Amino acid sequence: MSRFLIRRLGHSLVLLVLVSIVGFAVLNLAPGGPLSQFALAPGMSQADLDRIAAQMGLDRPLIVQYFDWFWRLFIGDWGESFRDGVPVLHVIGRHLFATLLLMVSSTVISVGFGTIVGVIGATRRYSLFDYSATVLAMIALSIPTFWFGLVSIYVFALELGWLPAGNMYTIGDGSVYDYAIHLIMPSFVLALVNVAIWSRYMRSSMLDVIDQDYVRTARAKGLPRGRVLYGHVIRNALIPMITLAGLQLPTLLSGALVTETVFTWPGMGRLFLDSLGYQDYPVVMGLLMFSAILVLIGNLVADLLVAVADPRIRLE
């Protein structure tokens, strides 16, 4: 186990370095660069831009800027926002709860509905329900997240008036109920694609397990159908789903970016787009690295949980 963790930590550090190099190069070599926001200010001369560049260390070679930024990142100094001078970690921290709340709620919905649909589809192969679930899953995978979000706002907020059109809570309220009704539409919109993915993978995993020898043996021994299904089939079919859950983190983060923008949800995805618009590169790089760390931790936890759930797997 220790050798596995050390090896995975080494791989993760290499991936983080590669992500940081690509992200830093793309942002700094883009047209305009970090100084583009200052160049638009009225009366800003080239001498003023040169002075600002010197103060921010932007007049140094790009490779020197990168190593300086990466070292400060390593020791916990992620820089300060160009927009308001607040430390980047504080900016991310203000939006982290909103994103985690949205991601957890949508994951619960997608895993719950996807597992149920997948199990029923596998136990009733080629039935009307199975064909209908397959068709609906293909439709869900084809629907853009932003389109589904806008349609949901139009139907449930504007036409029916059942749910709020956006934001995380009503100003002056902030009760649990208020949070909950604001969370319904964004979480279901974000979960739409993942429900389709989970249902297809769960059905496939169930079909791989349902004809195994130990399942037929359990049936031959006269065990009740429910005990065979829940104790032998579903339990073993869920093991590959743990790995899938780790791989779904990038999908959730990218989907949250669109969903948070559509519903004006104050999470990291919306912060990322706002920071790009303001050329707030320290916050953009901080969000990029923070998201990469979350994805790597999620995949590591998924691998560890698979080893715990399946005693046949040994982490060496």
91-309 CATH fold = MetI-like fold (1.10.3720)
Candidates 261, 280, 278, 279; CA nearest to 269 is 261
Q: What average pLDDT does the segment 293-308 reach? A: 80
pLDDT tens digits, one per residue of 217-233: 888 888 888 888 887 78
Residue with tokens 């590169």: 281
Q: What average pLDDT does the segment 108-132 reach? A: 89
- % residues pLDDT > 70 (the chain): 94
Q: Cβ of 110: how many Cβ atoms within 10 Å?
A: 26
CA distance 197 to 208: 17
Sequence-distant (≥ 6) Cβ neighbours of residue 196 within 8 angstroms: 114, 136, 137, 138, 140, 141
Sorting pLDDT into bands at 50, 70 and 90, what band is 185? Answer: very high
pTM of the entire structure?
0.80
pLDDT tens digits, one per residue of 222-279: 888 888 888 778 878 888 788 777 777 776 776 678 888 899 888 888 888 888 888 8
Q: Map residue 300 onto helix, strand or coil.
A: helix
Amino acid found at 63 = I
Residue range(s) in the chain whose domain bears CATH number 1.10.3720.10:
91-309
Query: Is the pLDDT confidence value at 316 over 70?
Result: no
Instruction: Catalogue the long-range contacts made by 87-93 (C-beta closer than 8 Å, 24 or more residues apart).
Output: 88/282, 88/283, 88/286, 89/286, 91/271, 91/283, 91/286, 92/268, 92/271, 92/283, 92/286, 92/287, 92/290
